[in-house]
Structure 1
Amino acid sequence: MSRVVVVCEGETEEEFVRDVLAPGFYGVGLYLEPQMVETSPGHRGGALNYDRVKPHLRNTLRQKSAPVVTTLFDLYKLDKRFPGFEQSRSLHDLGQRLDVLRRELHADIVAAAGCQPGRFIPYIQPYEFEALLFSDVPTLTRVEPGWQAASDALAAARAAAESPEHINDRPETKPAAHLERELSNPSYRKRRHGPIAAQKIGLAKIEAECAFFAAWLAQIRELAQP
């Protein structure tokens, strides 16, 4: 079984990879291993600093086991020191912006690691993990009995965007802000509810609604042995 290290933004993404993504790839001979970057001494995940991300990716790619390495980082509040950040910020088209970020990140990390280009697959999720949960609002609002009242408001937020991944990155209208504002009794908690909701929605539905996410998983599937 081939090993694919997924370097994650935080604990929620780590659990998502472990509990939702990884089981979907076992059948094609790929083992997805989530990892988090050390963001300060003794702490991992969240507030990703590129000065710490880069050596983590470089060192992982230099391991003797030669894993393929990919990333699952949020575009929202991405560190300005990421390669291509300033260039991408002037682009209004989301796809073009992501292309610049992926291309520049790929070039910088491959050069630092001295590895084969195909062993690094950069991915940045627009605009954050919670966007994926808008793939199926009815299923999302069934995660907790008290969430049914939020169905209309969340459905409206989804309908106002081209796709779940286009729900924008302003602090008051980013995907997580909608969930934190509308979901109560109990309140939405990213680490507690995010992976559970994604698991209930299922990868097939998320991929059908989220084209950037689906394209990333397609790249990973191509690593499977024929």
Structure 2
Amino acid sequence: MITVGVLCEGQTEENMVRDFLAPELFGAGIILVPTILLTGARAGGPAGRGGVSKWAKIEKDLRLRLATTPHWAAVTTLLDYYGLPQDSPGMDDRPAGSARQRVEHVERRIAERIEHPRFLPYLVLHETETWVFAAAEQMGEWAEDAALAGELKRQADAAGGPEGVNDGADTAPSKRLLRAYPAYNKTQDGPVAVTDLGLVELRAACPHFDSWIGSLLALTGV
């Protein structure tokens, strides 16, 4: 067994790791340890948890975790490409091209900035809610709304696949989900639907996600 730390953007991402990814990858010999990004401390209060506003905060947290966990095989990230701080490495010189080409450019620049052999960056195209579009049928069943499943599938198909659902301020996956299903609870409903879908199916629907999972599995040397 190997251990991989996953730096998560917030509670939704932590739930996705704990409830979905960790059980799926355990059988492959990987123990995932999710932790939420520390975003600072309020005077007289505990450290803030979740959300991201500046690259420096992400970098500080990543370097701390890499330095204090030499027994982990790797440290990876589960951060949304949508809303990533504009001062993050690679954001200011993204190439013209597909969303996947652009996000992979940013991931490479982040890897170059951290420059650590145990660091494996991953940014979700475009949010973890993207995975719910892949699990449209399961989301519809959970919400007991067949029309919702059809609408999510229609939007994903129109975008060329779930990862193509874009990162506009009004058209990002989370915004679309809330319009289609105002009762949507991101920390509960999404992880339930995606868990019901399963890892094999999500990898088939989301090529960039599939590449990340492949990289994690490669760490086992099997």
Q: How far did residue 152 of structure 1 move?
A: 3.0
| SS of equivalent to 2:171 | coil
TM superposition shift of 1:153: 2.3
Instruction: Map Cα deviations across residues 185-224 of structure 1 (whole Å, 9 max, x no partner).
Output: xx00111211111111111111110000010000000011
Residue 220 (1) aligns with residue 220 (2): no
1:190 to 179, 183, 186: 186
Q: 1:62 to 1:135 in 2, by over 3 A?
A: same
Moved over 6 A (4+): none
Paired position in structure 1 for 2:40: 40
Distance in 1 between residues matched to 2:10 and 2:125, nearest whole Å: 15
Alignment pair present for 1:131 and 2:127:
no
- Conserved in 1, the CA contact under 8 Å of 2:148 and 2:180? yes
Give yes or no for the alignment of 1:143 onto 2:142. Answer: yes
Separation in structure 1 between the aligned mates of residue 193 and residue 107 of structure 2, nearest angstrom: 28
Match of 1:172 in 2: 170
Question: Deviation digits for residues 76-111 of structure 1, max 9, x if unmatched?
Answer: 1110111011111x523222212211111001112x
What is the TM-score with the length of structure 1 in the denominator? 0.90
- Give 2:38's aligned amino acid: E
What secondary structure, in the 3-state scheme, does the structure 1 residue paired with 2:174 have?
Answer: helix
How far off is 1:39 after superposition? 1.1
- Note closer, same or farther for the CA distance 1:139–1:83 as it changes in structure 2 (3 Å cut): same
Instruction: Indicate yes or no: 2:34 matched with 1:28.
Output: no
Q: Which of 66, 76, 85 is 1:70 aligned to? A: 76
Report what 2:9 is aligned to: 9
CA drift at 1:48: 4.2
- Candidates 95, 101, 108, aligned match of 2:106: 101
Which runs of no fewer than 5 residues in structure 2 stay unpaired?
42-46
Q: Does 1:82 align with 2:57?
A: no
Matches within 5 A, 1:200-219: 200-219=196-215
Residues 142-184 of structure 1 deviation map (CA, whole Å, 9 limit, x = unaligned)? 1122x33323322221121111001011122211112101114
| Structure 1 SS opposite 2:141 | coil
CA RMSD of aligned residues (A): 1.5
Instruction: Give the structure-2-normalised TM-score.
Output: 0.92
**Contact 2:138–2:149 (Cα < 8 Å) also in 1:** no
Q: State how far apart, in whole Å, the 2-side matches of 1:48 and 1:173 are.
A: 20
| Distance in 1 separating the partners of 2:81 and 2:32 | 22
Give the secondary-structure state (helix, strand or coil) at the position aligned to 1:97.
helix
Q: In structure 1, the residue corresponding to 2:6 is in which secondary structure?
A: strand
Distance in 1 (alpha carbons) for counterparts of 2:153 and 2:3 = 38
Tell me the amino acid that sits aligned with residue 7 of structure 1: L
Equivalent residue number for residue 120 of structure 2: 121
